[in-house]
Amino acid sequence: MITLYHHPLCPHSRFVRLLLGEYGITPELIEEKTYERRREFLILDPAGQTPVLVEQGGIVVPGAGPIAEYFDETRGLALGRHRLLPEDPASRVEVRRLCDWFHQKFFNEVTNWLVTEKVYKRYMPRERGGGAPEMELVRAARTNIRTHMRYIGYLAGGRKWLAGEQLSHADLAAAAQLSCVDFLGDVPWEENETAKLWYARVKSRPAFRSLLADRLPGLSPTAVYADLDF
């Protein structure tokens, strides 16, 4: 059994859940509230961040990037032509470049602000930073996402998938970030039809089903979140 320490609206955790879904793996999910700084979790990963995966046999793999690389190295060949990290070096560079774009740039400019202000602070005790959202940060994220939507549309308009002809880590990374923002109702789907159609294709994959079932106490997703024909 593979165990994944995650948070339902951590986009990096969602990326790993999508990745495992594409491999046909259903992990044991343990929800981790990183702000609690649990000793047992910090032993697994001193950085104290989700996701952290514990493989059969006790191997601990922290972080979205290392987990993706680990699975490509240990199970990638079994996917054959559906491998999520291409074999040729140039294509691998493009996939990794886009993964960095979504894991870092999109996250830092959009998802982190929205999820922190609208979700994490809702559940965190005030002494640990909880409280009302800073709407200036929320508005900045809502402005920033428009640029990212246009970039996704540009990529999807010239390629079958974001990084090329094959579904890859790049598509999962982008979809994981967007899924969090979509849960909160902050994706301007009218901004780019090509980006919307690409997301609908990813959203319709079996690996996405568990994400669409996510709910948080006292916080429901928008009506279109689980709608495959949004």
Q: What is the pLDDT of residues 137-176, one digit of tens each?
A: 999 999 999 999 999 999 999 999 999 999 999 999 999 9
Q: Is 80 a residue whose pLDDT tops 90?
A: no
> Is the same domain home to 96 and 202?
yes
Helix (H) or strand (E) holding 180: helix 169-183
Of 99 and 78, the structure prediction assigns the larger pLDDT to 99
Among candidate residues 82, 112, 139, the one where a domain is terminated: 82
Q: Cα(59)–Cα(178) distance, rounded to whole angstroms? A: 30
Q: Is 77 a residue whose pLDDT tops 90?
A: no
Count of domains observed in the chain: 2
Kindly report, residue by residue over 3-48, the tens digit of the pLDDT: 999 999 999 999 999 999 999 999 999 999 999 999 999 999 999 9
Q: Is 201 a residue whose pLDDT tops 90?
A: yes
In a domain, 212, yes or no: no
Confidence grade of residue 78 (pLDDT, cut at 50, 70, 90): confident
Name the percent of the chain lying above pLDDT 70: 100
Task: Tell me the average pLDDT across 127-139.
Answer: 93
In 55-187, which ranges are E strands?
A: 60-62
> Is the same domain home to 50 and 144?
no
Among candidate residues 82, 102, 128, the one where a domain is terminated: 82
> Is the same domain home to 160 and 195?
yes
Angle between helices 169-183 and 193-203 (to 10 degrees): 100
> Is the same domain home to 130 and 33?
no
Domain holding 39, by residue range, is 3-82
> Is the same domain home to 62 and 137?
no
> Is the same domain home to 40 and 119?
no
Among candidate residues 82, 108, 127, the one where a domain is terminated: 82
Helix (H, G, I), strand (E, B) or coil at 36: helix
Closest residue by Cα to residue 183 from 212, 204, 218: 212
> Is the same domain home to 26 and 100?
no
Residue 128: per-residue pLDDT? 84
Residue 46: per-residue pLDDT? 96
> Is the same domain home to 114 and 202?
yes
Residue 86: per-residue pLDDT? 94
